[in-house]
């Protein structure tokens, strides 16, 4: 099985830049890499993404929201993630289950355990080997999002208030505290080059570990 790496955090944390840079480094080192994102990443998932982020969907129930994110995820696992891992490829995924635990479980107040069980079904318990959590203060996230969007309207999720995003951030940190072997917390306010290096060091260690254990078998 290939290495499965996910990236989490509030919007505006610089995830996309780092995912691209890691992708470049890995392919430069001869690795086969699949890059994907949630919600979306498949034709069905992209349609679900349109619904989930559409600001005109003002009457989507919380339950529907959780299930649509989980449905997009289940399809992505089926079409993209599992096949790639089976072919020993490295999978880089922009957001995964932790996003639902934080944004829906904690943010909407549905409960992390309830959202966790729905996602256990959707993913058949497939967990990432490694997760990078890009942590930054909510205010900074909101300023960066507003700046990068310019005149483009915020999506349905971005319209939520600072209290909501504080619950999301706190839950991400709580997830990291519960699972320190998997989740690496990054201070997303640091310079891009520093973050890139830190991420690369961690990924290299994981790859060496995997390759080392294959050689000893
Ligand atoms: P993202 O692709 O990061 O947004 P953008 O293209 O604007 O950078 O994610 C879309 C939004 O969906 C983001 O605000 C986080 C939210 N989200 C959830 O609420 N729950 C989830 O399970 C996932 C995967 C994303």
Alpha carbon 87 to chain centroid distance?
A: 22
The C-alpha atoms of residue 111 and residue 158 are separated, in whole angstroms, by: 20
Residue 72 near ligand 1, beta carbon < 6 Å: no
- Mean per-residue pLDDT, 191-208: 96
Residue 40 near ligand 1, beta carbon < 6 Å: no
Is residue 201 scored above 80 in pLDDT?
yes
Nearest CA to ligand 1 atom 22: 100
pLDDT digits 0-9 by tens, 97-116 = 999 999 999 999 999 999 99
Angle between helices 43-53 and 62-76 (to 10 degrees): 160
Residue 95 near ligand 1, beta carbon < 6 Å: yes
Q: Are 99 and 171 in contact (CB under 8 A)?
A: no
**Which pLDDT does position 211 carry in this prediction?**
80
pLDDT digits 0-9 by tens, 4-50 = 999 999 999 999 999 999 999 999 999 999 999 999 999 999 999 99
The C-alpha atoms of residue 70 and residue 116 are separated, in whole angstroms, by: 10
Residue 99 near ligand 1, beta carbon < 6 Å: yes
Q: Is the pTM of this model over 0.85?
A: yes
Distance 53 CA to ligand 1 centre (A): 8
Give me the phi and psi of 72, to 5 degrees please: -60, -40
pLDDT digits 0-9 by tens, 161-194 = 999 999 999 999 999 999 999 999 999 999 999 9
Residue 73 near ligand 1, beta carbon < 6 Å: no
Which of 9, 11, 17 for mutating ligand 1's site (highest number of atoms within 8 Å of CB)? Answer: 11
Domains defined along the chain, listed by start: 4-216 (3.40.50.300)
- Mean per-residue pLDDT, 141-168: 91
Kindly provide the b/e burial profile for residues 72-100, where b requires at least 16 CB atoms within 10 angstroms of the residue's own CB.
bbbbbbebbbbebbeeebbbbbbbbbbbb
- Mean per-residue pLDDT, 60-77: 98
Q: Which residues in the chain belong to E strands, given as ranges?
A: 4-9, 33-37, 90-94, 130-135, 183-187
Q: Which residues pair with 187 in a beta bridge?
A: 135
Distance 37 CA to ligand 1 centre (A): 9
Residue 8 near ligand 1, beta carbon < 6 Å: no
In which band, very low, low, confident or very high, does the pLDDT at 148 lie, cut at 50, 70 and 90?
confident
The C-alpha atoms of residue 198 and residue 187 are separated, in whole angstroms, by: 11
**Which pLDDT does position 36 carry in this prediction?**
97
Is residue 158 scored above 80 in pLDDT?
yes
Is residue 119 scored above 90 in pLDDT?
yes
Distance 211 CA to ligand 1 centre (A): 33
In which band, very low, low, confident or very high, does the pLDDT at 151 lie, cut at 50, 70 and 90?
confident
Mean of the per-residue pLDDT values of the chain: 95
Residue 42 near ligand 1, beta carbon < 6 Å: no
The C-alpha atoms of residue 120 and residue 58 are separated, in whole angstroms, by: 28
Distance 39 CA to ligand 1 centre (A): 6
**Which pLDDT does position 150 carry in this prediction?**
80
Q: Are 165 and 142 in contact (CB under 8 A)?
A: yes
**Which pLDDT does position 171 carry in this prediction?**
98
Q: Which of 55, 170, 158 is nearest to 105 (CA)?
A: 170
The C-alpha atoms of residue 42 and residue 201 are separated, in whole angstroms, by: 31
The C-alpha atoms of residue 51 and residue 61 are separated, in whole angstroms, by: 12
Question: Helices marked H in 110-182 — which ranges?
Answer: 112-123, 138-149, 162-178
Sequence-distant (6+) residues with CB within 8 A of 17 are: 192
Residue 38 near ligand 1, beta carbon < 6 Å: yes
Alpha carbon 80 to chain centroid distance?
A: 15
Sequence-distant (6+) residues with CB within 8 A of 88 are: 1, 2, 32
């Amino acid at each position: 099985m290939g290495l499965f790496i996910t990236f989490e955090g509030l919007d505006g944390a610089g995830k996309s830049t780092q995912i691209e840079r890691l992708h470049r480094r890995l392919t430069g080192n001869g690795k086969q890499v699949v890059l994907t994102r949630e919600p979306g990443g498949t034709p069905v998932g992209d349609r679900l993404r349109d619904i989930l982020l559409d600001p005109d969907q003002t009457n989507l129930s919380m339950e529907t929201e959780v299930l649509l994110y989980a449905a997009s995820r289940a399809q992505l696992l089926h079409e993209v993630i599992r096949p790639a891992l089976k072919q020993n490829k490295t999978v880089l995924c922009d957001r995964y289950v932790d996003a639902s635990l934080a944004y829906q479980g904690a943010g909407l107040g549905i409960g992390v355990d309830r959202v966790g069980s729905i996602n256990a079904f959707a993913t058949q318990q497939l967990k990432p080997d490694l997760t990078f959590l890009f942590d930054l203060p909510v205010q900074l996230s909101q300023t960066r999002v507003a700046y990068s969007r310019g005149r483009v309207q915020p999506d349905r999720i971005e319209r939520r208030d600072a209290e909501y995003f504080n619950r999301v951030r706190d839950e991400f940190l709580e997830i990291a505290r519960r699972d320190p072997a998997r989740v690496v917390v990054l201070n997303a306010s640091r310079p891009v080059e520093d973050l890139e290096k830190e991420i690369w060091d961690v990924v290299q260690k994981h790859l060496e570990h995997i390759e080392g254990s294959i050689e000893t078998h």
